[in-house]
């Protein structure tokens, strides 16, 4: 008398046995189970219910019992039934409460303007092109593509990326050294675990970065060792033997926006060679440099010492969870083994679709369109701030999806500004949130060695869809307007 009914096109588990055991009649038990499913949202408003005959058959009860239960719930307003269109969940029966047992938590702040960094304008996702590429990929994929495959990922995507990365970023790799992973975060976790297996104990990172990445490294057993930052990027002269690798964002330091100088690139590679260590190059937005051709990937300096990490999170969408590592020979086996252990391999359909998008040239066209879009956004941000808050300074190179805005003396602390931003309905982050915390006391730099530049905000100018950008920019200008 329990039923998972499927005849309306979806599954819903209805438990009548317990209610029957508690003494309810069959009709009352069914009414009660349906009412509860509507109330707690498992049956959404508008859902079409199975016919009384089909539900009766699914549950092994008389059709009439179902007719009566539907009638009662219709009279109560939970369901509505119209001649010819069957019975549906009534529109006004929106769940009165969350799933059973759920307690409402504290209300999250409501943000009208989203300037949080790290995200692309999701309205630019090339839906039509993606769908067409998915169709073509599905139509031409061999049957074997749908089975268990290499933990490195689909060969079609690894081949497409080999050529694309060589052409656009100067990466020197081949399909046997590329691994497709679920976001850079997973790739970094696998790498850190492989380095830990080889005896590494620490990961050097830039003094400001992405704290969730630091958490990934810690979870793999590596201690975080921040390096000071200046306008030429990370002070790699501070690298020592306590780190097995250094994580860098050479093309566009996240979040401060510096480019790692040529001397420092060479010095970091020298350090890796001498210490049997690695450089992990996070090229998260390398395709989005606006002022001139981006510098090529650092990986080309030494593919056996630099791991290149790229992602579709900025160029397409973070929700795809598609990223790739170009690995030195030594790391292919351990990282692939850990990937297999983690989740066998990344899902194939999106890999095939992305491969198709790249080989057809559509991906290039999409990236060019996004580059122009984000460049205009940045120009608008810089112009608006120059007009309304001339003493704030936009620092970092003209690139990427975010900018750092340094606040002038007297503008208040970062925390005060963030509180005012929240009150104004603006979602954004401050520079301090990005600070890398050392895992050992001795790692702390002497005063003044980090990029201490006073309060600063990190503005994700790419984040809002186009229609929402002017209002978000106006709200930001109002927040920073000098009083």
**Between 228 and 318, CB nearer to ligand PLP:** 318
**Between 314 and 366, CB nearer to ligand PLP:** 314
Taking the complex as a whole, how short is the minimal distance between the CB of residue 354 and ligand PLP, in angstroms?
13
Taking the complex as a whole, how short is the minimal distance between the CB of residue 283 and ligand PLP, in angstroms?
9
**Between 12 and 157, CB nearer to ligand PLP:** 157
Taking the complex as a whole, how short is the minimal distance between the CB of residue 253 and ligand PLP, in angstroms?
9
**Between 49 and 180, CB nearer to ligand PLP:** 180
Taking the complex as a whole, how short is the minimal distance between the CB of residue 142 and ligand PLP, in angstroms?
28
Taking the complex as a whole, how short is the minimal distance between the CB of residue 196 and ligand PLP, in angstroms?
20
Q: How far apart are the first and last CA of the chain?
A: 70
Inter-residue contact 17 to 30 (CB < 8 Å)? no
**Between 90 and 428, CB nearer to ligand PLP:** 428
Residues that bind ligand PLP (CB under 6 A): 118, 183-185, 210, 249, 254, 282, 284, 311, 313, 318, 323
* Nearest-CB residue for ligand PLP: 183
CA distance 151 to 253: 30
Taking the complex as a whole, how short is the minimal distance between the CB of residue 118 and ligand PLP, in angstroms?
3
**Between 78 and 288, CB nearer to ligand PLP:** 288
Taking the complex as a whole, how short is the minimal distance between the CB of residue 181 and ligand PLP, in angstroms?
8
**Between 87 and 315, CB nearer to ligand PLP:** 315
């Amino acid at each position: 008398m329990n039923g998972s009914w499927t005849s309306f096109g979806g599954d819903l588990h209805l438990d009548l046995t317990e209610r029957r055991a508690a003494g309810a009649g069959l009709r009352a038990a069914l009414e009660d189970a349906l009412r509860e499913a509507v109330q707690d949202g498992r049956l959404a408003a508008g859902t079409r219910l199975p016919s009384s005959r089909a539900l009766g058959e699914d549950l092994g009860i008389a059709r009439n019992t179902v007719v009566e239960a539907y009638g009662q719930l219709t009279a109560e307003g939970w369901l509505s039934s119209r001649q010819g269109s069957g019975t549906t969940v009534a529109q006004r029966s929106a769940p009165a409460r969350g799933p059973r047992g759920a307690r409402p938590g504290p209300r999250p702040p409501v943000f009208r303007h989203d300037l949080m960094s790290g995200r692309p304008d999701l309205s630019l996702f090339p839906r039509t092109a993606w769908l067409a590429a998915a169709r073509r990929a599905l139509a031409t994929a061999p049957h074997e593509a749908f089975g268990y495959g290499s933990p490195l990922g689909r060969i079609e995507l690894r081949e497409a990326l080999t050529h694309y990365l060589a052409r656009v970023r100067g990466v020197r790799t081949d399909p046997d050294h590329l691994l497709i992973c679920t976001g850079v975060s997973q790739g970094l976790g696998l790498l850190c675990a492989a380095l830990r297996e080889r005896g590494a104990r620490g990961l050097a990172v830039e003094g400001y970065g992405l704290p969730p990445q630091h958490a990934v490294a810690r979870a793999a057993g590596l201690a975080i060792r921040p390096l000071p930052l200046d306008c030429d990027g990370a002070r790699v002269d501070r690298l020592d033997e306590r780190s097995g690798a250094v994580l860098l964002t050479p093309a566009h330091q996240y979040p401060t926006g510096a480019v790692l100088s040529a001397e420092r690139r060479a010095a970091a590679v020298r350090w890796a060679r001498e210490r049997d260590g690695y450089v992990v190059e996070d090229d998260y937005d390398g395709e989005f440099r606006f002022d001139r051709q981006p510098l090529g990937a650092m990986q080309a300096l030494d593919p056996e010492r630099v791991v290149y990490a790229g992602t579709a999170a900025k160029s397409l969408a973070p929700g795809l969870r598609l990223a790739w590592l170009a690995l030195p020979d030594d790391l292919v086996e351990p990282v692939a083994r850990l990937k297999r252990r983690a989740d066998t391999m990344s899902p194939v359909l999106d890999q095939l679709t992305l491969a198709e998008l790249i080989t057809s040239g559509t991906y290039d066209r999409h990236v060019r369109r996004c580059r122009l879009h984000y460049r205009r956004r940045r120009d608008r941000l810089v112009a608006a701030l120059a007009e309304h808050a001339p003493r704030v300074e936009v620092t970092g190179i003209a690139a990427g999806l975010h900018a750092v805005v340094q606040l002038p003396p007297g503008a208040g602390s970062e925390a005060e500004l963030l509180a005012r931003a929240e009150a104004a309905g603006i979602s954004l982050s401050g520079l301090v949130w990005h600070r890398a915390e050392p895992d050992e006391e001795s790692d702390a730099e002497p005063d003044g060695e980090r990029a201490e530049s006073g309060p600063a905000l990190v503005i994700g100018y790419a984040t809002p869809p186009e229609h929402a950008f002017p209002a978000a920019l106006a709200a930001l200008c109002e927040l920073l307007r000098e009083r």
